[in-house]
């Protein structure tokens, strides 16, 4: 399901789902999910609040460089419910990434403990890191690149980026993780949240899948030869 991507603070944010308790939106690449400083009205939560005419409550986050599906609560009660679902790992999150090279085997799990270093980067530390697990599956391979589906089973900061870098397949366009010679020439980080599945406060099962922003699809095709 290819979708247009909102660009900038004045554009309408695409709404993927909304009920009385929560709203799922399409986060643009380059927009922070929550305020980065006091009075930050360019972040997604502020934009959504203005667009909907009501307060929104963050329940999870995406890195500023990451696009895709993100969920906000609309009431304090729903915020508590959804926070609990994330804490108990009752939410299935799916991502798509274009990586350098091709992971081998083509399907598996990266189980490597992560911790934050002084630079703010996350890295593998077998002695002091927190348990972290990412499942992956190669969907397409092209010379030099692969399209990979990812499911994080834990929620560490920069987990997907750090895990893929740790196994020698950094995400295309990642200026923080990966060899310097691979970081240039790409318009964005090639990582997007493509789906989410969880039970809502109403009891309804919300299942969004295959959500792909247009700029992600275009960059994958023109720069990496991958058609989505």
Indicate which residues carry an active-site annotation.
Answer: 63
Phi-psi label, residue 225: left if phi above 0, alpha if psi -120 to 50, beta otherwise: left
What DSSP string runs through 84-135? HHHHTT--EEEEEEEEES--SSSEEEEE--EEE-TTS-EEE-TTTPBP-EEE
d(CA 142, CA 97): 13
What DSSP string runs through 33-56? SS-SSTT--SSHHHHHHHHHTS--
d(CA 200, CA 189): 30
């Amino acid at each position: 399901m290819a979708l247009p991507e909102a660009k900038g603070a004045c554009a309408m944010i695409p709404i993927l789902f909304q009920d009385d308790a929560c709203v799922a939106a399409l986060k643009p690449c380059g927009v922070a999910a929550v305020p980065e400083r006091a009075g930050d009205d360019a972040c997604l939560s502020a934009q959504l609040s203005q667009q909907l005419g009501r307060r929104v409550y963050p329940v999870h986050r995406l890195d500023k460089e990451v696009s895709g599906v993100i969920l906000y609560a609309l009431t304090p009660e729903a915020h508590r419910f959804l926070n609990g679902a994330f804490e108990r790992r009752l939410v299935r999150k799916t991502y798509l990434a274009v990586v350098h090279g091709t992971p081998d085997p083509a399907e598996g799990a990266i189980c490597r403990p992560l911790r934050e270093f002084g630079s703010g980067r996350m890295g593998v530390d077998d002695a002091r890191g927190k348990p972290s697990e990412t499942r992956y599956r190669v969907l397409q391979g092209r010379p030099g690149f692969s399209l990979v589906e990812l499911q994080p089973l834990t929620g560490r900061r920069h987990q997907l980026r750090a895990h893929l870098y740790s196994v020698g397949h950094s995400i295309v366009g990642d200026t923080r993780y990966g060899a310097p010679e691979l970081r240039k020439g790409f318009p964005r980080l090639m990582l997007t949240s493509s789906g989410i599945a969880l039970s809502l406060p109403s009891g309804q099962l919300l299942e969004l899948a295959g959500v792909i922003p247009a700029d992600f699809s275009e960059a994958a095709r023109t720069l990496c030869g991958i058609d989505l």
